[in-house]
A and B are shown apart, each in its own frame.
Chain A
């Protein structure tokens, strides 16, 4: 069921979009304005007071700027000093590198060697070997004669029989 009241509300709802009154916007005050007006109210400042207050604020800002500038200047000096120090360290490093390189220079090495009594000598003569052809198919030739004394041979044979090694016999041959 739809009552007349509801219908009326609906009508109003459909028409309200076309005929809504312009919304009034309140102008808000800034923080500084509010703070200054509050401070003025509480401190009961007159117009001179305002001026002094502004002057004080400006003075603080100037002092802050000066402090900052002094800090920057100090930093500049520090940077310049450190740069100078860095240059000196680099120069020292270069100097040390030159000393190190010079220590290994051939002239220095030779001088030190001479002071130590060392001298360069020619190598021992190389003997140029004559080429010798080896024929692997050639007969091996006669077997070399065994010059081991007989008593050593018998002794070796005896040890071998007993269970020893053949090293005794082998060791006896040259």
Chain B
């Protein structure tokens, strides 16, 4: 019995011990299986991403605006550098990379595994460093976008339009952000095994997926015109002591953007050392009140509706009561009996309000819609800003009145230029766009029929009235040599509201196209908060005809030469 008990006890003990071992085995093999196998795999299995080459961007003449270049980053493994070599390594690194030697020494003495010394420097420096054969120093290559130089050393060409790609290859702002998916492509990968020395085992089973490179973009932009626009804008903004300025030029028949300039701008090659406030694009992401430029839309709608003609005579006492508000002409003068050609040439607010009243609120609203002012323009650039337009019923009488001469309505420059371009394009709305081709695919916008907003005859009448603005009215300062009788334009000046109160600071603008009968381009110039010499005594010196129109004239004069435009 005793022996039997002992056997049973031993069996039990053996079973318990075996059970403990099995339980532990089951714990590692079953419950911790996923974690352990992934840890083991991480030691020998490697998934290498094959980055796709980012598509490049061309202008309309196939001038490359962006180039992909290779840059290098230098790193050290301090634990692999012997103490006797530290001095040599630090001297070599500081000499080639122009970094602080004391800092490098500090890094080398830290005995850490890995530390960057300098990131993203040129190949020339990398070659110098490679030649030194410093122990424990490595070079990692990365791709970087390089943009064409702009008008100054601190800016790149069309920076606000193009945006930039950050160090992770993600597009930020402008076209780089809007077309991220198309430009970025799809990364591929190599799944392989590596030995202890981190060398790839060629015979190991590995899978391979090729990357799909990004598509190239061809823009409607003209790099030469862009450069000239940037230069003229910079000169103009400086001369006017303005806060900033923008220029937008459009191909009247297609809606393609020819130039998109902002001043001040930034250097997209150096975006990581740039004040992020400069990244904002003032063409599509900034709302302004267009002022008298809006009269082109108001009078066109009224003429198309049959409410007025260029020769319709009205009485303009210089003030009008609308919705309980007294609204004045810019000069507070009684102009007596005037026709609508005169109203536009001399930019009379009362005339614009009377035209709006003559056509009626409903028609006025429908034309605002038709000219594309009640919704975003839909341009293919990131971060277009617009305010939701109130419905027809929500707009008060005074709102209709102020909208008729471009105050109390917030628009971006793309919306405004596209609206005026309707006149240049024979009454049709050409959807604004920047990209003409994505890879080999034509932008579908170019193939869509353009909507007819007003008749061609009305557009022709308005063109003649706008010619009068240049010949007899406020647009005299925009006259281009040789085209004095063949260009159409309109000035605009609107006060900037701050906390619900209009200030003496203004947005000054000029819009126009030429040749008037067969326009080759439409251009809008906006100067923000100009302080023209002498304007502290007389603030009307900040008007569009003295600030924006000369910039328009300068750019147009160069465009006429470059594009070999002749008068009709």
Residues of B contacting A75 in the complex (Cβ-Cβ under 8 angstroms): 202
Residues of A contacting B202 in the complex (Cβ-Cβ under 8 angstroms): 72, 75-76, 79
Query: Is residue B63 within 8 Å, beta carbon to beta carbon, of the partner chain?
Result: yes
Query: Is residue B123 within 8 Å, beta carbon to beta carbon, of the partner chain?
Result: yes
The one of A94, A122, A123 that contacts B69, using a Cβ cutoff of 8 Å = A94
Q: A79-B202, A107-B227, A122-B557 are in contact. List 16 more A-B contacts (CB 8 A).
A: A91-B69, A91-B141, A94-B70, A101-B64, A102-B148, A105-B63, A105-B148, A105-B157, A106-B223, A107-B148, A108-B149, A120-B561, A123-B482, A125-B482, A128-B485, A128-B486
CA of A100 to CA of B226, assembled, Å: 20
Q: Mark A128-145, 1 if CB is under 8 A from B, else 0.
A: 100000000000000000
Which chain A residue shows the least CB distance to B484?
Answer: A128
User: How many residues on the B side are at the interface (Cβ–Cβ under 8 A)?
Assistant: 37
CA of A18 to CA of B486, assembled, Å: 117
- Given A97-B67, A98-B67, A123-B560, A110 and B148 contact (CB-CB distance below 8 Å): no
Query: Is residue A66 within 8 Å, beta carbon to beta carbon, of the partner chain?
Result: no
A106 touches B483 (CB 8 A): no
Instruction: Using C-beta atoms within 8 Å of the partner chain, give the interface range for chain A.
Output: 20 to 34
Residues of A contacting B558 in the complex (Cβ-Cβ under 8 angstroms): 120
A98 touches B561 (CB 8 A): no
Which chain B residue shows the least CB distance to A101?
Answer: B64
Query: Is residue B184 within 8 Å, beta carbon to beta carbon, of the partner chain?
Result: no
Which chain B residue shows the least CB distance to A125?
Answer: B482
Residues of B contacting A95 in the complex (Cβ-Cβ under 8 angstroms): 69-70, 122-123
| Nearest CB on B from A129, distance (A) | 9
CA of A110 to CA of B562, assembled, Å: 13
Which chain B residues numbered 157 to 207 have a C-beta less than 8 Å away from chain A?
157, 199-203
| Nearest CB on A from B269, distance (A) | 11
A122 touches B67 (CB 8 A): no
| Nearest CB on B from A92, distance (A) | 7
A105 touches B149 (CB 8 A): yes
| Nearest CB on B from A112, distance (A) | 13
Binding site for A on B (CB under 8 A): 63-64, 67-70, 122-123, 141, 146, 148-151, 157, 199-203, 223-224, 226-228, 481-486, 557-558, 560-561, 566-567
Which 9 A-B pairs give the minimum distances between C-beta atoms?
Answer: A106-B227, A126-B482, A91-B70, A105-B148, A94-B69, A107-B149, A98-B67, A101-B64, A126-B567
Query: Is residue A51 within 8 Å, beta carbon to beta carbon, of the partner chain?
Result: no
Q: Mark A62-80, 1 if CB is under 8 A from B, else 0.
A: 0000000000110110011
Can you spell out 5 A-B residue pairs with CB atoms less than 8 angstroms apart? A80-B199, A95-B70, A106-B226, A122-B561, A126-B566
| Nearest CB on A from B128, distance (A) | 13
- Given A105-B223, A107-B150, A128-B567, A94 and B67 contact (CB-CB distance below 8 Å): yes
Q: Which of B148, B202, B483 has the most CB of A within 10 A?
A: B148
CA of A122 to CA of B481, assembled, Å: 8
B67 touches A110 (CB 8 A): no
Residues of A contacting B567 in the complex (Cβ-Cβ under 8 angstroms): 126, 128
Query: Is residue A87 within 8 Å, beta carbon to beta carbon, of the partner chain?
Result: yes
Residues of B contacting A26 in the complex (Cβ-Cβ under 8 angstroms): none
Query: Is residue A23 within 8 Å, beta carbon to beta carbon, of the partner chain?
Result: no
CA of A125 to CA of B200, assembled, Å: 72
B200 touches A107 (CB 8 A): no
A91 touches B560 (CB 8 A): no
| Nearest CB on B from A93, distance (A) | 9
